Amino acid sequence: MYRTNNLGELNIENIGQKVELSGWVQKIRNLGAMIFIDLRDEKGITQIVINTEELQNKAKEITTESCVHICGEVVERASKNPNLKTGEIEVVAEQIDVLGKCKSTLPFEINTDQEVREDLRLEYRFLDLRNEKLHNNILLRSKILKTLRDRMDELGFPEIQTPILANSSPEGARDYLVPSRLHPGEFYALPQAPQQFKQLLMVSGFNKYFQIAPCFRDEDPRADRAPGEFYQLDYEMSFATQEDVFKIMEDVVPYTFEKFSSWTVEKGPFIRIPYKEAMEKYGIDKPDLRNPLIIQDVTSSFENTEFNAFKGKIIKAIVVPDGAKQGRKFFDGMVDFAVQECGAKGLAWTKFEETGEIVGGIAKFVTEEVQESLKNTVGVNNGDSIFFIADDELEKAQKLAGLVRIELGKRLDLIEKNIYKFCFIVNFPMYEMAEDENGNPKIDFSHNPFSMPQGGLEALENKDPLDILAYQYDLVCNGYEMASGAVRNHNPEIMVKAFEIAGYSEEDVKSRFGALYNAFQYGTPPHAGAAPGVDRMVMLIADSQNIREVIAFPKNKKARDLLMNAPSKVTEQQLKDVHIKIEKEEK
């Protein structure tokens, strides 16, 4: 009824055909004798020619972004446009019908390079999604999801859905709670991940499972993390080791990236980097391996230094090959970045000139003894520059050095182009020091609480908790965490002891994770799994810098849905139905 062809398929072979087309008016050009309309749908653009007085009068009332229906004849275009798939033809209109009129004033222009405030774009997301690049991102996402499903099916993984209304679970973020109408005072929690359910599926005798799982976490948004909800390719395998899980990721992820990107895609097996090594060399547990710079420890080189800022400190260094040619402005800019953007107390530096002379920054504190030590320990050569980060705490020194490394890679254009580099970060610590609600120090899980500790029960009983490693791992791509996973703890005795160290009693475990605890009494196979993030995967393949650009209806930076006005207030009756009363704060 509305169209015989889409707006991206007509060509020279269709000349003389009568066609019906429908789409949105992207541009109107009134040349007096003729009016031209660029008509757009998601397949492309076709030029419409209006050359009769009756239709021209009608066309003058049409606004851009109106939805219209055109009947006409395909003719050869006099002035061809090689940039359009339909650039050899145009359609002479014989009938025009406005299907949906657009307001004469748009909140912003569609398909232009003009900068538009993001909150305005999100408020009018239905218009924003007409933008070709954004629209194609969403279609790309659809194709990627299909590819992931097809590949997992080929590998023998059945797709099984797990509940959305679930129980609260410690996954490292706050839960979204859903009050129960039928059970006053009780709440469901939206799952931060389908963790317990997928483990229960393994106990149930399923050999393996997967799903494109929606996950919900009440955490602050970032450019690479959507607030509130996200999707992951969640999979689990019975009778599996860490290496078995890796093989699946080394198959599915590069396969998907290669299918949709023209960039070079590193193939498996991906390199394995222990967490401790990642922090020492890159200052971060998601290193971008396209950046050739590494962090090295030079504390011993300045053991006898007279430089007060280094005395008694842990000192990290980053050697920049051929960096001595940079001017003072560059070094001052890096110092400003470290202090203003990273919260560092300072950033020391110096240059090793081609002549062998050491100049700039802290050159006067680089004695011959220090110089010799640096050449032996970090391999600095004439023509290089070197940056130093000093701090009392190892973790802080590493993290600051990591931020400086990333910024140096950007400013010096050292990042390898058009390639996806992968690595697994392994051997995460099982526990870390945290603070309780009163600000007192306590031991807590550092990653996934359902992971198997390396060394099992013996390690939990005899080792310092902060020295215990876990069978936990992340997949990292180009500086982004792509997936997390673990070999699961399937032994109830080990489970109770692991939670006990983190401050949970056996009764707490039975109460909060009763299904798992109970199931583990009935013959549980060893199992392991992982969950690559779908949103982040699409973001990387689309070469987008913002995860909101690959989600159809995202929240803004404050976790608000400006289009649907959520979250919003509800009626007193709705609150009454779920047995909730809101206490108003006194002014």
Question: % helix / strand / coil in the chain, to the nearest 5?
Answer: 30, 25, 40
Residue with the two structure tokens 């072979």? 13
Where does the pLDDT of residue 584 fall: very low under 50, low under 70, confident under 90, or very high at 90 and above? confident
Amino acid at 235: Y
Asked whether the predicted pLDDT for residue 171 surpasses 60, the reply is no
Q: What is the CA radius of gyration of the chain?
A: 30
- Chain Cα centroid distance, residue 186: 33
For residue 219, what pLDDT is reported?
83
Q: pLDDT tens digit string along 130-154? A: 999 999 999 999 999 999 999 999 9
Distance CA 302, CA 311 (A): 8
Residue with the two structure tokens 């193939």? 267
Give pairs for 451-454: CB < 8 Å, separation 24+.
451/486, 451/487, 451/488, 451/489, 452/486, 452/487, 452/488, 452/489, 452/490, 452/494, 453/489, 453/494, 453/498, 454/427, 454/430
Distance CA 494, CA 498 (A): 6
DSSP label at 337? I
Distance CA 514, CA 177 (A): 19
| Structural domains present in the chain | 12-100 (2.40.50.140), 113-270+525-581 (3.30.930.10), 291-415 (3.30.1360.30)
For residue 1, what pLDDT is reported?
85
For residue 170, what pLDDT is reported?
60
For residue 215, what pLDDT is reported?
94
* Contact of 494 with 452, CB cutoff 8 Å: yes
For residue 428, what pLDDT is reported?
97
Pairing of strands 419-420, 431-435: unpaired
- Rounded mean pLDDT, 524-551: 96
Distance CA 12, CA 90 (A): 10
| Cβ count within 10 A of residue 219 | 15
- Rounded mean pLDDT, 19-43: 95
- Chain Cα centroid distance, residue 439: 31
Asked whether the predicted pLDDT for residue 517 surpasses 80, the reply is yes
Q: pLDDT tens digit string along 339-394? A: 999 999 999 999 999 988 999 999 999 999 999 999 999 999 999 999 999 999 99
| Cβ count within 10 A of residue 514 | 12
Where does the pLDDT of residue 297 fall: very low under 50, low under 70, confident under 90, or very high at 90 and above? very high
Asked whether the predicted pLDDT for residue 165 surpasses 60, the reply is yes
For residue 173, what pLDDT is reported?
77
Q: Calculate the average pLDDT of the chain.
A: 94
In this predicted structure, which of 172-176, 273-277, 557-561 has the lowest mean pLDDT? 172-176
Picking from 154, 177, 171, the residue whose alpha carbon sits closest to that of residue 213 is 171
**Burial letters for 115-126: b for 16+ Cβ neighbours within 10 Å, e otherwise?**
ebebeebbbbbe
DSSP label at 37? E
Residue 360 region by backbone torsions, left for phi larger than 0, else alpha for psi between -120 and 50, else beta? left
DSSP label at 452? P
For residue 448, what pLDDT is reported?
85
Asked whether the predicted pLDDT for residue 305 surpasses 70, the reply is yes
Distance CA 487, CA 530 (A): 9
| Cβ count within 10 A of residue 222 | 11
292 compared with 559, residue with greater pLDDT: 292
Picking from 299, 283, 282, 300, the residue whose alpha carbon sits closest to that of residue 291 is 282
Asked whether the predicted pLDDT for residue 112 surpasses 90, the reply is no
- Counting residues of the chain whose pLDDT is more than 90, the rounded percentage is 88
Q: Is 91 exposed, middle or buried (0-12, 13-18, 19+ CB in 10 A)?
A: buried
- Rounded mean pLDDT, 257-265: 97
Distance CA 241, CA 486 (A): 9
* Contact of 182 with 499, CB cutoff 8 Å: no
Where does the pLDDT of residue 583 fall: very low under 50, low under 70, confident under 90, or very high at 90 and above? confident
Picking from 420, 423, 424, 422, the residue whose alpha carbon sits closest to that of residue 242 is 424
Residue with the two structure tokens 């009769």? 52
Q: pLDDT tens digit string along 403-445? A: 999 999 999 999 999 999 999 999 999 999 988 888 889 999 9
Asked whether the predicted pLDDT for residue 172 surpasses 80, the reply is no
- Counting residues of the chain whose pLDDT is more than 70, the rounded percentage is 99
- Rounded mean pLDDT, 32-46: 95
In the numeric block, which tokens belong to residue 580? 């909730």
For residue 284, what pLDDT is reported?
97
Question: In the chain, what's the furthest Cα-to-Cα distance?
Answer: 92
What is the 3-state secondary structure of 273-310?
Answer: EEHHHHHHHHCCCCCCCCCCCCEEECHHHHCCCCCCCC
Q: pLDDT tens digit string along 467-481? A: 999 999 999 999 999
